Structure formats: structure tokens, C-alpha cells
């Protein structure tokens, strides 16, 4: 599978040049499968997570199709419309188009809420090749007459599952009603539950369906560890982990905004440059924090789950779960921020006694135990041996795959030092329970 090249996918030279300059040598699986389909003009439904290279999988062929029929732009119109759930993702997609398309001379605009609309309106005035938008702001600008969608030839719904989860369906429906019915449509989703498949049927016409490796290579590449610790020792453990491992670029997750601030402040007090991002921060403050992190001026970014969605920063070597998420699915999203596109990464979870249930749920979802590291100064046996509740994940696929009795539950009671859990299994089917 991996011996394909970007050249063999039929991409034109200016795009190949952009890809080479990014030092991508081989297409990822989703790129290998999606690019020829999109270039052939077919609709596509793709099950692919962030981190698999899915942005380039649609950006590259779309830019090529635009160039093939180089018609003039019309004021306030876009030829490609990309809908995404979050502003961070919208900005990242825009960056990707600019990066991969730096030799294509195509115009993009990005439209999202939480910031003034004037620059966005201005960007649309003469029309663009590619418009990337979150559904709410797009509708605002359409209603005010600043954007018209009757010239859209290509539609991309990115992270469709998340858009539906976030309640965007009515907005998307209203937006889609304004699009020409003759168009090429692509739908990308990290998970493929029934409601997405049904919804896709109403939007796509005779689509090609692809799914990238359900074994989730990204998660398999991550070195996952648990450290048991008492609540009041977490900050000391964090400082020692960062200092001892000489961590240069880590994302630290907390459950609450308040805790994100507190952790970032503690780190800064201890001379570790850190910023916090969460929903209470303005869009500007979040962008600045993200830029500082990307440029390496800040080593540690402390984030809540919502703020971290879609963050795509290369070379994050460590994800630290300062607090274990309530939703097991969030754990997968969190650790997926490291080990991007084939690189390795480490995910360390700090687990206190009260978080055992959450940890059990995560291990149930992963279908494996996360190896425990006990050889640190703040190891808590109390946390390690706390039982937690039985996994409260619903059972899937009809079979009894729950942990019925304690002997088969993922608990780690033996020995010291690092213990490896079941190697087999791994994360197979992504499903959402939130
Ligand atoms: P995405 O899934 O689009 O969010 O991409 C995840 C990461 O993979 C981004 O940081 C890209 O820069 C990187 N990437 C995308 N395609 C490739 C490739 N063919 N080779 C190496 N890295 C890639």
C-alpha cells in the first residue's frame, strides 16, 4: 500500500511541488484512496480521523479540479465550499490550502464566528476559489447578502459527525438548500454511525465509500502510559515529568477551564513557559496562544477538550492528561494530537483514585490496558488500587464484551515499574456516546 507516490496519483506539478516542499514523501492511506476518486469527479464518503492526512486528501485534488476549469471568479461567490464544525479547524484547513497550493495562485477565504465580520466580508468581495466556513457565521453572511452560494461546484463536509453532534444539522440543511444541485460533494467523518450514513445519502450522489484503517494506526503509534497519583500531587508530578523528560512541546489536558488556568499559572511560576486555551478566552487570545506554541516560544499548552478540538500542531511529542476525561472518546481525541502522520508520540495520563472509573471506561474502549509507570516519586498505591465502577460504556455489537467480573476487568495489580498490558486489540471502531 505504501509504495504509491504523489506523482502516481495523477497530481499536477505545481501541487507536487507544494507537497515536496512540505517534505511529504508518501501519500497517507486516505490520500492514496481519496485523491484519484475526487479527481475522477465522483462523490465521496470517507471515514477518516484528524491526523490521517485527510485535509490534503481533499485539498490537493480540489485545487487541481479548479485549475482544470479556470473560470473567472464572481463577486461574493466561492467555487468550493468547505463546512467545518470549529473555527480552529477552519483556520487550519485554510492554512493547508495555502501551504499545498502555494504554486497554484488560488484565492481562499475563511469565515467563522467570534470575531468581527468586516475582514471576512472584504475577503469575499471579489469572490474566491475556496471558502472555508463554520455554519453559523456563513449563514449570517449569506443573510446579509455578503456571500452567495449559487456558484458552488464542490462541497466538502468535514468532521460531519462532530457537526451533527454540535447541533449544526438545521444550519447545514439551510446552507445546502442554497447550493446548486449539480456539484461534486465529499463528506469526511471520524466515525460512521447510522445517522451519518443516512444523512450522507441525502447529500451525496452515488458516492464512493472509503474507510481508512479501522485499526487506527495513529493510536497504535502512541506510547500510552498511566501514572497513579494523588490529586494534590498532580502539579508536582507534572513539573517533574516535564523537567525530567526535557519535554519541548506538550499539550496538557484538563477537564475544566479553571484548572487549565491554574496549571498554566503553576508552570509559568516554575519557569516553564505555558499558556492556557479554553472557551472563556477570546478568539484572539486563543490564536495568539496557539501561535506561541507553534513557534516554540511556549513549550506547554494547557487546554480543555473543546478548545483543543482540531488543533493541528506538528511535532507534539507528548500529550499529558492532567485530568482523565469523563468521556472515553475524548481520550482518543486528546492523544491523537501527538503521533501525527506516522510519527511516534507519548501520552501520559495522571490518574487519581476518583478517576479510576474513567480510566476503566477508556481501557474498555481501547480494548487493552494502558501500561502503568510506577517508578516516579509521586506514585500513589491508593489511586492504583482504587476499584472504580464497572465500565459504564454501553455494550456494542450485540455481544457481551463488557467486563462482567473483576478478574477480567483491566486492573493492574502486579509488580513494579512499567508493565505492559495486552498488546493485541487496539482501538477498532470509533463510536460516539456523547
Ligand atoms: P490532517 O489529518 O489533515 O489533520 O493531517 C495531519 C497531519 O499530517 C498534518 O500535520 C499534515 O501536515 C501531515 N501530513 C498530511 N499528509 C502527509 C503526508 N503524506 N506525509 C506526511 N505528513 C503528512
Please, what's the b/e burial string for 119-139 (b: 16 or more CB within 10 A of its CB; e: otherwise)?
ebbebbeebbbbbbbbbebbb
DSSP labels, 352-393: -GGGHHHHHHHHHHHTSPPPB---STTB-HHHHH---PPP-S
User: Residue 78 pairs with which residues in a beta bridge?
Assistant: 128
List beta partners, residue 227: 350
Q: How many CB atoms lie within 10 A of CB 160?
A: 30
- Beta-strand ranges (E) seen in 190-234 are 208-211, 222-228
Q: What is the pLDDT of residue 201?
A: 93
**434, 165 contact by CB (below 8 A):** yes
Residue spans of the domains in the chain: they are: 7-212, 218-384
CA distance linking residue 71 with residue 60, whole number of Å: 18
Kindly list the distances between the CA atom of residue 390 and the CA atoms of 47, 104, 233, 363, in Å, as whole numbers in the listed order: 31, 55, 26, 11
Ligand 1, pocket-test mutation among 3, 9, 28, most atoms within 8 A of CB: 28
Using CA atoms, how far residue 35 sits from 30, 43, 60, in Å, is: 8, 12, 7
d(CA 79, CA 98): 16
pLDDT at 88: 86
Ligand 1 center from residue 75 Cα (angstroms): 32
pLDDT at 125: 97
Whether the pTM exceeds 0.75: the reply is no
Q: Do the domains 218-384 and 7-212 match in fold?
A: yes
Ligand 1 centre to CA of 410 (Å) is 33
CATH 3.30.70.20 fits 7-212, yes or no: no
Whole-angstrom Cα distance, residue 285 to residue 276? 9
Ligand 1 lined by 50 (C-beta under 6 Å): yes
For residue 351, what are the CA distances in angstroms to 6, 28, 158, 423?
43, 34, 33, 21
Packing angle between helix 283-295 and helix 87-100, nearest 10 degrees? 50
pLDDT of amino acid 270: 93
Spatial distance between the Cα atoms of 102 and 17, rounded to a whole number of angstroms: 9
Separation of CA 52 and ligand 1 centre (Å): 6
For ligand 1, whether the C-beta of 340 sits within 6 Å is: yes
Does residue 218 have its Cβ closer than 6 Å to ligand 1? no
Kindly state if the Cβ of 28 falls inside 6 Å of ligand 1: yes
Q: Spell out the residues 6+ positions from residue 357 whose beta carbon is closer than 8 angstroms to its own.
A: 388, 389, 392
217 C-beta closer than 6 A to ligand 1:
no
Question: Going by DSSP bridges, is the β-strand pair 318-321/250-253 parallel, antiparallel, or unpaired?
Answer: parallel
Residue 400: burial class (beta carbons within 10 Å; 0-12, 13-18, 19+): exposed
Partners of residue 186 on adjacent β-strands: 44, 156
pLDDT at 108: 98
> What pLDDT, on a 0 to 100 scale, did the predictor assign at position 218?
57
Is 336 close to ligand 1, i.e. is its CB under 6 Å away? no
Contact (CB, 8 A) for 59 and 97 = yes
Nearest-angstrom CA–CA distance, 397 and 316:
35
Q: What is the CA radius of gyration of the chain?
A: 22
Q: Is the CB of 51 under 6 A from ligand 1?
A: yes
Q: What's the pLDDT at 20?
A: 94
> CATH code for 218-384?
3.40.50.300
8 A C-beta contact, residue 348 and residue 318: yes
For the chain, residues with pLDDT lower than 50 are 1-2, 214-217, 392-434
The finding on whether 29 has its CB within 6 A of some atom of ligand 1 is no
Helix, strand, coil content of the chain in percent (nearest 5): 40, 15, 45
The alpha carbon of 381 and the centre of ligand 1 are apart by a number of angstroms equal to 40
Amino acid at each position: 500500500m505504501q509504495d504509491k507516490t504523489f506523482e502516481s496519483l495523477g497530481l499536477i506539478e505545481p501541487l507536487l511541488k507544494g507537497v515536496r516542499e512540505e517534505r511529504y514523501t508518501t501519500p497517507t492511506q486516505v490520500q492514496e484512496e481519496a485523491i484519484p476518486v475526487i479527481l475522477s469527479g465522483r462523490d465521496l464518503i470517507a471515514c477518516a480521523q484528524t491526523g490521517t492526512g485527510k485535509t490534503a486528501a481533499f485539498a490537493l485534488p480540489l485545487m487541481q479540479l479548479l485549475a482544470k476549469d479556470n473560470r473567472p471568479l464572481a463577486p461574493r461567490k466561492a467555487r468550493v465550499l468547505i463546512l467545518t464544525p470549529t473555527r480552529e479547524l477552519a483556520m487550519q484547513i485554510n492554512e493547508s490550502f495555502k501551504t499545498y497550493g502555494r504554486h497554484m495562485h488560488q484565492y481562499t477565504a475563511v469565515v467563522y464566528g467570534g470575531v468581527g465580520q468586516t475582514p471576512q466580508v472584504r475577503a469575499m468581495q471579489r469572490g474566491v476559489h475556496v471558502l472555508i466556513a463554520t455554519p453559523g457565521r456563513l449563514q449570517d453572511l449569506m443573510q446579509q447578502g455578503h456571500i452567495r452560494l449559487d456558484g458552488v461546484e464542490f462541497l466538502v463536509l468535514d468532521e460531519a459527525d462532530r457537526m451533527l453532534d454540535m447541533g449544526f444539522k438545521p444550519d447545514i440543511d439551510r446552507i445546502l438548500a442554497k447550493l446548486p444541485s449539480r456539484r461534486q460533494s465529499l463528506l469526511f467523518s471520524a466515525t460512521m454511525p447510522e445517522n451519518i450514513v443516512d444523512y450522507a445519502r441525502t447529500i451525496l450522489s452515488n458516492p464512493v465509500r472509503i474507510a481508512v484503517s479501522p485499526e487506527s494506526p495513529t493510536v497504535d503509534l502512541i506510547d500510552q502510559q498511566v501514572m497513579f497519583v494523588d490529586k494534590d500531587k498532580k502539579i508536582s508530578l507534572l513539573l517533574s515529568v516535564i523537567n525530567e523528560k526535557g519535554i519541548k512541546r506538550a499539550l496538557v489536558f484538563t477537564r475544566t477551564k479553571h484548572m487549565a488556568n491554574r496549571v498554566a499559572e503553576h508552570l509559568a511560576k516554575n519557569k516553564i513557559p505555558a499558556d492556557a486555551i479554553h472557551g472563556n478566552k477570546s478568539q484572539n487570545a486563543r490564536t495568539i496562544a496557539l501561535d506561541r506554541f507553534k513557534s516554540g516560544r511556549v513549550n506547554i499548552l494547557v487546554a480543555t477538550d473543546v478548545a483543543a478540538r482540531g488543533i493541528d500542531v506538528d511535532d507534539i511529542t507528548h500529550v499529558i492528561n492532567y485530568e482523565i476525561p469523563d468521556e472515553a472518546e475524548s481520550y482518543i481525541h486528546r492523544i491523537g494530537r501527538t503521533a501525527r502522520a506516522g510519527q511516534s508520540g507519548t501520552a501520559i495520563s495522571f490518574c487519581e483514585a476518583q478517576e479510576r472509573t474513567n480510566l476503566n471506561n477508556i481501557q474498555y474502549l481501547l480494548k487493552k490496558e494502558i501500561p502503568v509507570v510506577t517508578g516516579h516519586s509521586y506514585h500513589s498505591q491508593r489511586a492504583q488500587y482504587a476499584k472504580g465502577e464497572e465500565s459504564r460504556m454501553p455494550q456494542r455489537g450485540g455481544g457481551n464484551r463488557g467486563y462482567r467480573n473483576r478478574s477480567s476487568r483491566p486492573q493492574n495489580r502486579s509488580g513494579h515499574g512499567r508493565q505492559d498490558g495486552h498488546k493485541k486489540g487496539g482501538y477498532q471502531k470509533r463510536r460516539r456516546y456523547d
